Amino acid sequence: MRAYVLVIAVTALTCLVTTPLIRQVALRGRAYSPHRTRDMHVRAVPKLGGVAMVMAVLLGMTVAGTVPFLDGIFTDSAPVRGLLAALGIITVLGIVDDLWDLRWWAKMAGQIAAALAVAMGGIRVEAMPFAWIPVGNEPIQILLTVFVIVLTMNAINFVDGLDGLAAGVALIGGSAFFVYSYLLTRTINEFDYSNLATLMMALLVGAALGFLPYNVSPAKIFMGEAGALLIGLLLATAAVAVTADVDALDGFRFRNVPAYMPILLPLAVLALPLIDLTTAVIRRTARGSSPFSADRGHLHHKLVDGGYTQPQAVALLWLWSFLVSWGAVSLNFFDDRVVLPVLAVLLLAAGYLTLHPMVRRRRGAAETTPDEVDPQELR
């Protein structure tokens, strides 16, 4: 565990130091996020913050490569090379998009290229997580892996709409995933705790931890495309990696880790972004628009329009992320007969907090009739 804590600390400190430097570069290069009608910020904010996060991840991975405890991760260099290639692609893609606002198809092509780099490096979907049906066909493995990674990248991109929201979700979900992956590794092999999925989550937690102080409301810098793609890439790649080894899963299934956790945990961590992505696609398709067209109908928009301030909306969405992801992880430590009822009560409370202001606001608007309007206001 100390090796992973070291990686988290190095990554966090690097991001903490490099983010102000990248902010100055963005200011000089006039890489601003303009104010649009759908945006929640009211002033121009520099972008490119994701570049600092990528730099921190790269340094953290370099340090990890020098730690003997983590040697097992780098024994087969192909997955690491594939991940590094993907990081390079999303960094270039993110910088270009932040500067010139690429068309959706160009961004999609870059995302597919990054996902292909991961898949060609050997990190692939080798079994369907439902009933653990093996996927022996290599082209299908690659296609499924690309689909999962691209889907997750876009899900994170969709949820990145309020100051600190995406970085906070990454920190909360990534830390839950880190604990689960570390526990899983210890259960599978009591002599070697090194694991690429655990390392990726340590890197993600460190990057989010170092970037968040500059990104909470009022944000001094946005993570931009590179940051959202980085979060999506690491989460999806870790999810694929942690569910790929069917033999290992068979080995721990009858021990202290529940058999459904490899399915539940990735979905729990990504629940909020995936729900937002799904509702956005349905909403836009229903009105005849492109699923990639921007609008003001995301979950965070609904909360702010319903009466919450931006920091309150972010805190509420962080709460949902915490309850779902850490609620899933807690099933590894406590009896589910205790966890599930407590979690159900907490989710109901979170649901009340989410819906109550919007219901109250709509009820107040419905109760206001023309007869109740001050005649002076009609003049």
pLDDT computed for residue 330 by the predictor: 86
The proportion of the chain whose per-residue pLDDT surpasses 70, expressed as a percent, equals: 73
How far is the C-alpha of 325 from the C-alpha of 347, rounded, in Å?
Answer: 12
Across-strand partners of 45?
Answer: 33
In this structure, is residue 187 part of a structural domain? Answer: yes
Is cis: bond before 218, omega within 30 of 0?
yes
How far is the C-alpha of 345 from the C-alpha of 338, rounded, in Å?
Answer: 11
From 185, 184, 179, select the one nearest 204 (Cα to Cα). 179
Query: At which residue do the structure tokens 């628009």 appear?
Result: 289
In this structure, is residue 377 part of a structural domain? Answer: no
Query: Taking 70 as the threshold, does the pLDDT of residue 147 lie above it?
Result: yes
In this structure, is residue 126 part of a structural domain? Answer: yes
Q: How many domains does the chain have?
A: 1
Q: What is the pTM of this model?
A: 0.84
Q: Which ranges in the chain belong to alpha helices (H)?
A: 2-28, 49-64, 77-100, 104-120, 138-159, 165-188, 196-215, 224-244, 246-252, 261-269, 271-286, 299-305, 310-330, 336-367, 375-378
In this structure, is residue 156 part of a structural domain? Answer: yes
How far is the C-alpha of 206 from the C-alpha of 12, rounded, in Å?
Answer: 4
Across-strand partners of 33?
Answer: 45
pLDDT tens per residue, range 4-53: 999 999 999 999 999 999 999 999 888 877 655 555 555 778 999 999 99
How far is the C-alpha of 48 from the C-alpha of 23, rounded, in Å?
Answer: 7
In this structure, is residue 119 part of a structural domain? Answer: yes
In this structure, is residue 353 part of a structural domain? Answer: no
In this structure, is residue 266 part of a structural domain? Answer: yes
- Rg from Cα positions in the chain: 22
Range of the domain at 160: 2-297
pLDDT computed for residue 252 by the predictor: 43
Distance of CA 317 to the CA centre of its chain: 13
How far is the C-alpha of 171 from the C-alpha of 53, rounded, in Å?
Answer: 13
In this structure, is residue 220 part of a structural domain? Answer: yes
Q: Would you place residue 373 in the very low, low, confident or very high pLDDT band (cuts 50, 70, 90)?
A: very low
Average pLDDT of every residue of the chain = 81
pLDDT computed for residue 112 by the predictor: 97
